[in-house]
Structure 1
Amino acid sequence: MIDDVLLTRLAAVAEVIQDPKLKDFTTFKLGGPCPLLLDCADADSLTTSAALLADAGVPFLVMGQGSNLLVADRGLECAVLRYCADREPAVEASGSRITVTGNTLLDDLARIAIEKGLGDISFCSGIPGTVGGAIAGNAGAFGQQIGDVVETVRLMLPDGSVIESTADELEFQYRSSALKQSGAVVLDAVIKLKPCSIETMQAERERILELRRTKHPDWKVNPCAGSVFRNIEPTSAAERRQAAGWFLEEAGAKGFRVGGARLFEKHANIIIAEPDATANDVYLLTEKMIAAVQEKFGFTLEREIKLLGF
């Protein structure tokens, strides 16, 4: 139970928002209310808030930018701790090693690293979400992934306690890590980048951003959560993953729609939530996409987005 005494203690360490609509905190712009949202500006705010809630027996979850979430229309019954830097983050560097907070937006990290000549992480350009979320999901593009450059992380466990882990202990795999199972949250990380000229990195960043502009929707204009399903593990000697979007297109899913949820016209693995869409529309559309691929190819797609709530 969240009583007035607990609220006062929480308000001393984080911004307290009571009964917020979670659609205001996800890139899908979908999701019902939760009893309490705590906007945590830094790692200390997050760990203190988590410890207070844990001690009081109040269930909670942690979210970043909400770029990989589908929150139920009914909302959530637990508290939500938001760990996302809405302002310019601080990135500290010592040679080719960079210390970055988990609430830093991934694209901000790429931009700052390039602008300051700290090292090449241009493959992260344009990817939404926070550094913490990216590490948990081992985000990447163009054959590279963030797990390749992580050295160590400082983690918050579900009870609010803090530990340190090495990259090996995170057990990075394609779009996954041990953090997905443990529920630990990345407070900050040390990454090591390869030196590269600013001009070369900036040119590559601009190339990637332009490529994304031509092939991917801007979630601020067309609410979405990027790729809905994971790419398919290799089944041939070529050992290359096959795009889930190709299977969806071959299965005739490109024109699928349920209510206000539809497939993006340029990418069969991205769902757009129109102004009248519900989270249930999106969920039912993903089920329809899964069924189409199952019928044509005989295997089941695996969601990359995370479902929260009933």
Structure 2
Amino acid sequence: MTLRQQGIDIQQNIPLSRFTFTKTGGPAEFLAFPKNLPELELLVKSVRQENMQLTVIGNASNLIIKDGGIDGLVIILTKMNQIIANESDCTISAQAGATIINTSNAARDAGLTGLEFAAGIPGSVGGAVFMNAGAYDGETENVIKSVKVLTRDGVFKTYTHDEMQFGYRHSIVQDTGDIVVSATFGLKAGEKKAIADRMKYLNDLRRAKQPLEYPSCGSVFKRPKGHFVGPMIIEAGLQGTRIGGAEDSKKHAGFIINVGGATATDYLNLIHLIQKVIKEKFDVDLQTEVRIIGKEKRIDD
């Protein structure tokens, strides 16, 4: 890529399993970690000029990258992670690569309440906005004030809360392809100890109920209306089912964990099996919450 001549580090043929929470995934043809907005803008414009495929990733926590990897340029935003708390107007502004956990911690330290639900969500701010991440009766949309994006044409723009068109695990940037570069959260003044106590309580719940000791992609399936995924999987006799190194967790049936040596194909095969059995037994179509990207691995690879 010509960008190497402009001082931006572009790596080639790097296994993305190094960065995903599942510890699976094929290689990126090209890989970059922009450190600031000018570098990101330069990367996006260069990709457009060279007519390359562009894929943008945050903390890769709710993501499965197929074993064939990703062609073109993969941008991982984790170095763009600045967080600024403004206590006077009760806002937190965070770059897309900041973790939502660190953003929640910054809100706590500033005595701002509203982000406690995110205290244990392992994703990035960009990912949380992209998929309207939520937990424990809280959702990202409830606290978003505005979102700054970079379009695929290399133009910066800002969405208001309403313009983001949030829905269940959905936002407008899933449709537009815009790249979230930062978000401003509108919070309320609170008492630091009460905020910290609530965060600790939710994190204790998470540790007790979720298989955090294993690599995973978090909650795999969206909740179908009128049903709960975990109990359906248990009733169908699928909890603990293993394909290769991927196992439906015995601790939380809504999670698929890497118990050792799993491939993305193992994950996908287990997902498809669960979807097939749940459809047959309950006539429910399970949709994945986890984002699945990349290409299949060819036999001759």
- TM-score, structure 1 as length reference: 0.91
Aligned residue number for residue 67 of structure 1: 61
Structure 1 residue 90: Cα displacement: 2.9
Query: 2:241 aligned with 1:244, yes or no?
Result: no
Seen in structure 2, the aligned counterparts of structure 1 residues 106 and 122 have a Cα distance that, compared at 3 Å, is same
Letter of the aligned partner of 1:282 in structure 2? Y
Structure 1 residue 171: Cα displacement: 0.6
Structure 1 residue 181: Cα displacement: 1.5
More strand by share: 2
Rounded Cα–Cα distance in structure 2 between residues aligned with 1:48 and 1:60: 13
Aligned residue number for residue 296 of structure 1: 281
Structure 1 residue 255: Cα displacement: 2.2
Q: Per-residue displacement from partner, 1:195-214 (whole Å, max 9, x unpaired)?
A: 21001000000101111111
Unaligned runs of 5+ in 1: 235-241
Q: Per-residue displacement from partner, 1:103-148 (whole Å, max 9, x unpaired)?
A: 1100000111102213331100110111111011011111110101
Aligned residue number for residue 247 of structure 2: 262
Aligned residue number for residue 8 of structure 1: 5
Aligned residue number for residue 223 of structure 2: 231
Aligned residue number for residue 156 of structure 1: 150
Query: 2:21 aligned with 1:24, yes or no?
Result: no
Aligned residue number for residue 91 of structure 1: 84
> Which segment is superposed worse, 179-188 or 106-115?
179-188
Equivalent residues of 1:73, 1:279 under 8 A apart: yes
Rounded Cα–Cα distance in structure 2 between residues aligned with 1:90 and 1:142: 23
What is the total number of aligned residue pairs between the two structures?
A: 294
Seen in structure 2, the aligned counterparts of structure 1 residues 156 and 86 have a Cα distance that, compared at 3 Å, is closer
Rounded Cα–Cα distance in structure 1 between residues aligned with 2:10 and 2:72: 14
Rounded Cα–Cα distance in structure 1 between residues aligned with 2:9 and 2:199: 34
Aligned residue number for residue 210 of structure 1: 204
Equivalent residues of 2:30, 2:71 under 8 A apart: no
Rounded Cα–Cα distance in structure 2 between residues aligned with 1:57 and 1:277: 34
Q: Per-residue displacement from partner, 1:217-271 (whole Å, max 9, x unpaired)?
A: 22xx41101010001124xxxxxxx431121112111021111110111111100
Aligned residue number for residue 239 of structure 1: none
Rounded Cα–Cα distance in structure 2 between residues aligned with 1:63 and 1:17: 15
Seen in structure 2, the aligned counterparts of structure 1 residues 276 and 86 have a Cα distance that, compared at 3 Å, is farther
Structure 1 residue 41: Cα displacement: 1.9
Find the residue that maps to 2:266 and give its secondary structure. Answer: helix
- TM-score, structure 2 as length reference: 0.93
Rounded Cα–Cα distance in structure 2 between residues aligned with 1:258 and 1:26: 19
> Which segment is superposed worse, 60-69 or 45-54?
45-54
Aligned residue number for residue 80 of structure 1: 74
Aligned residue number for residue 138 of structure 2: 144
Runs of 4+ in 1 over 4 A off after TM superposition: none
Structure 1 residue 45: Cα displacement: 2.1
Letter of the aligned partner of 2:135 in structure 1? A
CA RMSD in angstroms, aligned pairs only: 1.5
Unaligned runs of 5+ in 2: 296-301
Aligned residue number for residue 41 of structure 2: 47
Aligned residue number for residue 299 of structure 2: none
Equivalent residues of 2:149, 2:178 under 8 A apart: yes
Residue 257 of structure 2, aligned match among 272, 285, 310: 272
Letter of the aligned partner of 2:142 in structure 1? D
> Which segment is superposed worse, 123-132 or 51-60?
51-60
Aligned residue number for residue 298 of structure 2: none
Equivalent residues of 1:120, 1:195 under 8 A apart: no
Structure 1 residue 86: Cα displacement: 8.1
Q: Per-residue displacement from partner, 1:245-298 (whole Å, max 9, x unpaired)?
A: 121112111021111110111111100113221111110000011011111100
